[in-house]
Amino acid sequence: CDEPPWQSPIAPHHVQLVPIAHLPNTVTLPEPTALEFHKYLDALKRCFSEKLDKDILVYERYMALRGRGGNHCFVAALPVSREEGRRAGETFHEHAKKAGVEFEVLPVCPTYESRRHMVQQRVGHSEYLLVILPDGGALLQMMGKGQNLNFAREVIASLVGKPERQDWKACCMSKEDEQSSFEKFKSIFSSYDIMN
């Protein structure tokens, strides 16, 4: 698993978690990869809390990219203030209502693995958006044709007060800024990195 800072971050330390193996989503990860993946999420959660005094907000969007050679697992994690973390679920529901879509509220699960199995039972091979809230609960939305692929990013940009960061294309960083962002992230995360 790799955790590079995102090239078009909503906020500092916004990262992607990408399994090295080419797999479409987290529910299809083999057990060893899923375990490593969840260790990284735990490490990020501790890092954001201890180093930044922030909560972690995680989202995964799975869309089958037919005709484009398949797709790669896409999970993003970013630090949000404690207040933003408390408002995250409500903010997602408000935006979903305006968009005419709904989320299923998933209960807090004792482990990431139990949540992964719960999601797997609900989605099967369907496309979905999963938001893992700072309190451990989660929101699940089955995605359909014509649905806004940028929905989660738009909601989170609104939540953190950066609506100008909704469109990832408008947020692309120069190679120098990208390297600087990576170095800053590495400086706070290195002692939490499970590979160290």
pLDDT digits (tens, 9 = 90+) for 120-166: 999 988 889 999 999 999 999 998 777 788 899 999 999 999 988 88
72 vs 53, higher pLDDT: 53
* CA proximity to 127, closest of 106, 149, 105: 149
**What is the rounded CA–CA span in Å between residue 164 and residue 162?**
5
Query: What's the pLDDT at 195?
Result: 86
63 vs 77, higher pLDDT: 77
pTM exceeding the 0.75 threshold for the entire prediction: yes
Rounded mean pLDDT of 35-45?
Answer: 92
Sign of CA dihedral 164, 6, 80, 25: positive
Beta strands in the chain (DSSP E): 15-17, 55-62, 75-80, 104-106, 128-132, 138-142
* CA proximity to 56, closest of 65, 67, 64, 47: 47
Query: What's the pLDDT at 1?
Result: 42
Cβ-based neighbour number of residue 174 at 10 Å: 8
- Write out the two tokens for 31: 């057990």
- Write out the two tokens for 148: 């806004």
The alpha carbon of residue 33 and the mean position of all alpha carbons in its chain are separated, in whole angstroms, by: 17
* Angle in degrees, 0-180, between the axes of helices 175-189 and 31-52, rounded to the nearest 10: 90
- Write out the two tokens for 195: 């590979």
157 vs 4, higher pLDDT: 157
pLDDT in tens, 67-124: 555 577 889 999 999 999 999 999 999 999 999 889 999 999 888 888 888 999 999 8
Rounded mean pLDDT of 7-34?
Answer: 85
